[in-house]
Copies of this chain bind each other. A is one copy, B any other.
Amino acid sequence: MRTKNENKAAAIRENAMKMIVAEGFDGFSMQKLAKSANVSPATLYIYYKNKEDLLNQLFNEVQQTFADVALEGFNPQLSFEEGLWIQWKNRLKFVLEYPVHFSFYEQFRNSPLINSSGIHLSSFKENMKQFVINAIQKGELKMMAPEIFWSVAYGSFYSLVKFHLQEKTMMGNDFKLNEVTLKTTFDIIVKALKP
């Protein structure tokens, strides 16, 4: 018996994401991926059922990792301000450490491919739901629809990250996203969410 070469598997994953981030979904092809990963096209079909399966598995893995990182050191009993800040910090860490993974993730989320995806991330969502309920009960947080909470609590974060990831800054060249500028923005948002 011959065993799968994990180096090959990793090369396939990394090159696929790099290619999609650089050239988009229509610049991506199985044959180009095979060439860039130094692998036969047929080999891709040992690891994945087909192209759609490859993209979905890739997305699900990245999404799961991102969710895991976001919840490091977190638990739903934390105070609202502390819990949310931990998540912002964790997410920024992921973005800075794995910019290609994150860009791939965002591109996938904003494409129609997202509808053919499988995972629901229900554990993560339950965790967050409980966190918000607790915070409202403790009186740390305004009462509001979950969609409004999610939008206000994370909308600014993702917008900031998008500014950071596009090399051409539209306004000035002096803005740098780090834990300090992140905290500045976080404080603004938290103030708004308090009762």
Interface members, chain A 132-160 (any B CB < 8 Å):
142, 144-148, 150-152, 154-160
In the assembly, what is the distance between CA of A191 and CA of B189, in Å? 9
Copies of the protein in its oligomer: 2
In the assembly, what is the distance between CA of A158 and CA of B185, in Å? 17
A contact patch SS:
helix
In the assembly, what is the distance between CA of A25 and CA of B23, in Å? 11
- Would B188 and A163 count as touching, CB distance under 8 A? no
Pick from B112, B169, B192: contact of A27, CB below 8 A. Answer: B112
Closest to A184 in B: B148
- Would A26 and B28 count as touching, CB distance under 8 A? yes
- Would A163 and B192 count as touching, CB distance under 8 A? no
Is residue A64 contacting chain B, with contact meaning CB distance below 8 A?
Answer: no
Is residue A22 contacting chain B, with contact meaning CB distance below 8 A?
Answer: yes
Pick from B26, B170, B193: contact of A125, CB below 8 A. Answer: B170
21 contacts between A and B (CB under 8 A): A21-B112, A22-B112, A24-B111, A27-B112, A106-B110, A107-B111, A110-B111, A144-B188, A145-B174, A146-B175, A147-B169, A148-B160, A148-B188, A150-B159, A151-B155, A151-B185, A152-B159, A152-B185, A155-B159, A188-B192, A188-B193
Is residue A181 contacting chain B, with contact meaning CB distance below 8 A?
Answer: yes
B interface footprint on A69-111 (CB within 8 Å = 1, 0 otherwise): 0000000000000000000000000000000000000110111
Known contacts: A23-B112, A146-B171, A193-B188. The answer to whether A158 contacts B160 by CB under 8 A is no
Is residue A172 contacting chain B, with contact meaning CB distance below 8 A?
Answer: yes
Taking the nearest CB of chain B, how far is it from the CB of A66, in angstroms? Answer: 16
In the assembly, what is the distance between CA of A125 and CA of B170, in Å? 9
Is residue A113 contacting chain B, with contact meaning CB distance below 8 A?
Answer: yes
